[in-house]
Chains A and B, each alone.
Chain A
Amino acid sequence: MGSLGLREIWRFAWRGISSNRMRSSLTILGVLIGVSSVIILTAVGNGSATAVRQQIEKLGTNSITVMGNGGGGGGGFSRTRSSTAKGLTIADTTALNNKDNAPHIKQAAPILNASVTCTYGNISATPGSAKGTWTSYFEASNSPVDKGGYWTNDDVTQKRGVAVIGTTLAKNLFDTDSPIDKIIRCGGQSVTVVGVMKSKGTTGFQDSDDVIIMPITFVQRAIAGYGNISQIQVESIDAKSTQLAMDEVTAIMNSQHKIKSTATADYRVLNQSDLLQSSTDTSKTLTVLLAAIAAISLLVGGIGITNIMLVSVTERTREIGILKAIGAPKAAILTQFLIEAMMLSLLGGISGVLLGLGISHFSILGVVPVVSLSSVLTAFIVSALVGLVFGGWPANRAASLRPIEALRYE
């Protein structure tokens, strides 16, 4: 194609694009929307994955939950449920706290879930979760207090009505007032609020801050009665030992409940990392789904380019004939139209990247988007390729026109 310099080619391509600004802008808009949606949607996907992961990590990766199948917290349909199934008991908890059998368990705390309505003055609120437990629960469940303090082992032994509450419940009952040392009524009993926990945010549909935590002895005496407990919250000595601790939990529980094979177990042992894994899988699926939707819009943008380039080739058939008559080789015409298509797609690509990065600064549907460099690069490179691929066919059509026919075209 001789030394038809890049400058000439760019100038020619620009002339093609600027000759119909409205049409070119709409084509560019198509690519822009495609590219920016790839960036934004993958960022939203990543963002929600990151958010869920952080939530779960806040709950503690070395915490293990034992749930009953038979009574208490288990419930629902379960193959292992049978008349011989025992619920979880305080005795199970005590066994788990035996350091000789369970060197990797730091501590275990019983949890008794109750359903109560709390009132303060004439304000009433039903917390999403009301738990009776031991003091070790706070550490096992990674729940530091923000204001006030915890209740004590003495409160547990004395079955006192004291509570640590979450920020949501605090706000519902006390609004901006300090809840510390205020006396509320729960299930007809007077309960003194001694502390407010740090916010944990929401996990899925559950608000981790809409909680009230009281001594288990008090909950048994005053609210739920002395039946089975709902869960046992176990903390391993560190995150690395969680799996070993889970094995120890299983061994101890099997011996406590006289279970010979795990298939007949009347309890379940769950770990936050299992939850983490499944939520990571879910958010990966979400990200892929979002990216696929975005890719489709990029494809549509590409088809827009083909369409506009075909129109452009048809409109300029005569011009192509002139160029061929004055000696333009096929390659020069091909290059010219390809560059024109790529200019359209790159203009769309660049503005799409800018728009995508801009919008990703804002939180979308409560998710703070996390832009990944790879999605930006992919979107940009794909947009360039879109021009090449989708512009290629019309460009080749232009270059292959026979000069005599192109010149005759009206």
Chain B
Amino acid sequence: MTTVVKVNNLSKTYGAGDTAVYALKKVNIEIEQGDFVAIMGASGSGKSTLMNILGCLDAPTEGNYWIRNLDVADLDEEQLAVVRSQLIGFVFQSFNLIPRTSALRNVELPMAYQGVSRAERRRRAAEALTAVGLADRMEHQPHELSGGQQQRVAIARALVTEPAMVLADEPTGALDTASTHEILELLHELNRKGTTVVVITHEEEVARAARRVIRLRDGEIIEDRTWAA
């Protein structure tokens, strides 16, 4: 199996000197292709910081992070944009769709930054929306969709570029129970088809959907368990 993510002695501190606060302390993680990982922890445990670093949105203070054998520390801003565009698919708690823009165009957008032709973008975006069960909502704008539907659009947007991993930050945090089940089922489905999924959550129910659970407390890994499939 190929390693998608390798994190070595990763630390993140805020502030300096005596007032320095450790958000992450020497964290080591390896994630294989096709894995379904839940990163758990209470608020303040450092899981959001980890998610931001894994998503190349933030840089670690110390330690190394390789994504698909690329050392992120070596990349400049433009190259990081390419990494985010091609290797990572984000799903956020608050959906983060572009307002006043149809579902179809929202899903098309990441491909636009990759230089995919217009027709091809259309086709693949429609395909991804069909895969998340929104074939009949393609021309709807975010405000015309329910929370669950918006999150499904976001998932379609994350998977449409066929990224190395989908990073989901509290993907069900803003959803009701029924929608939560739908979204978890969808992530499961995605993983079954071979996509690496990393979910950051504080909900046990979400964690149970994963194959592997990494628990963080005060910036340190306190548990890393894998269930047999």
- Interface of A with B (CB < 8 Å)? 1-5, 8, 15, 19, 318-319, 321-330, 332, 403-404, 407
Q: Are B113 and A326 in contact (CB under 8 A)?
A: yes
A-B complex: 9 closest residue pairs judged by Cβ atoms: A327-B85, A2-B115, A329-B81, A3-B115, A404-B57, A326-B110, A327-B113, A327-B84, A404-B58
When the two chains form the complex, which single residue of A4, A15, A321, A404 contacts B113, counting CB atoms closer than 8 Å? A4
Q: Are A327 and B81 in contact (CB under 8 A)?
A: yes
Q: Are B98 and A2 in contact (CB under 8 A)?
A: no
Does B34 reach chain A (CB closer than 8 Å)?
no
Q: Are A330 and B77 in contact (CB under 8 A)?
A: yes
By the criterion of a CB under 8 Å from any partner CB, how many residues of chain B are at the interface? Answer: 30
CB distance from B70 to the nearest CB of A (A): 15
A235 to B161, CA, bound (A): 88
Q: Are A329 and B78 in contact (CB under 8 A)?
A: yes
CB distance from A244 to the nearest CB of B (A): 75
User: What B residues does A322 contact at CB under 8 A?
Assistant: 92, 96-98
User: What B residues does A15 contact at CB under 8 A?
Assistant: 100-101
CB distance from B215 to the nearest CB of A (A): 24
Tell me the residues in window 78-96 of chain B with beta carbons closer than 8 Å to chain A beta carbons.
Answer: 78, 81-82, 84-86, 90, 92, 96
A229 to B81, CA, bound (A): 91
Chain A interface main SS type? helix
Does B112 reach chain A (CB closer than 8 Å)?
yes
Q: A325-B57, A404-B57, A404-B58 are in contact. List 10 more A-B contacts (CB 8 A).
A: A1-B113, A2-B112, A19-B99, A318-B96, A324-B57, A326-B85, A327-B113, A329-B78, A330-B78, A330-B81
Interface centre among A15, A321, A404 (most CB of B within 10 A): A404
Q: Mark B125-141, 1 if CB is under 8 A from A, else 0.
A: 00000000000000000
A132 to B80, CA, bound (A): 93
CB distance from B84 to the nearest CB of A (A): 5
- Listed by A's residue number, 22 A-B pairs whose Cβ atoms lie within 8 Å are A2-B114, A3-B115, A3-B116, A15-B100, A322-B96, A323-B109, A324-B57, A324-B84, A325-B96, A326-B90, A326-B109, A327-B86, A327-B110, A328-B85, A328-B113, A329-B81, A330-B77, A330-B78, A403-B57, A404-B52, A404-B57, A407-B57
Does B193 reach chain A (CB closer than 8 Å)?
no
User: What A residues does B98 contact at CB under 8 A?
Assistant: 319, 322-323
User: What A residues does B57 contact at CB under 8 A?
Assistant: 324-325, 403-404, 407
Q: Are A326 and B100 in contact (CB under 8 A)?
A: no
User: What B residues does A403 contact at CB under 8 A?
Assistant: 57, 84
A3 to B118, CA, bound (A): 9
Q: Are B100 and A329 in contact (CB under 8 A)?
A: no
Q: Are B99 and A4 in contact (CB under 8 A)?
A: no
Q: Number of A-B pairs whose CB atoms are under 8 Å? A: 72
User: What B residues does A318 contact at CB under 8 A?
Assistant: 96
Does B117 reach chain A (CB closer than 8 Å)?
yes
Does B46 reach chain A (CB closer than 8 Å)?
no
A275 to B110, CA, bound (A): 70
CB distance from B160 to the nearest CB of A (A): 10
When the two chains form the complex, which single residue of B100, B114, B118 contacts A327, counting CB atoms closer than 8 Å? B114
A407 to B91, CA, bound (A): 12
A329 in contact with B113 given A5-B118, A322-B96 (CB within 8 Å): yes
User: What A residues does B58 contact at CB under 8 A?
Assistant: 404
User: What A residues does B77 contact at CB under 8 A?
Assistant: 330
CB distance from B92 to the nearest CB of A (A): 8
Does B219 reach chain A (CB closer than 8 Å)?
no
CB distance from A209 to the nearest CB of B (A): 66
The chain A residue sitting closest to B56, CB to CB, is A403
User: What A residues does B114 contact at CB under 8 A?
Assistant: 2, 327
Q: Are A8 and B84 in contact (CB under 8 A)?
A: no
Does B55 reach chain A (CB closer than 8 Å)?
yes
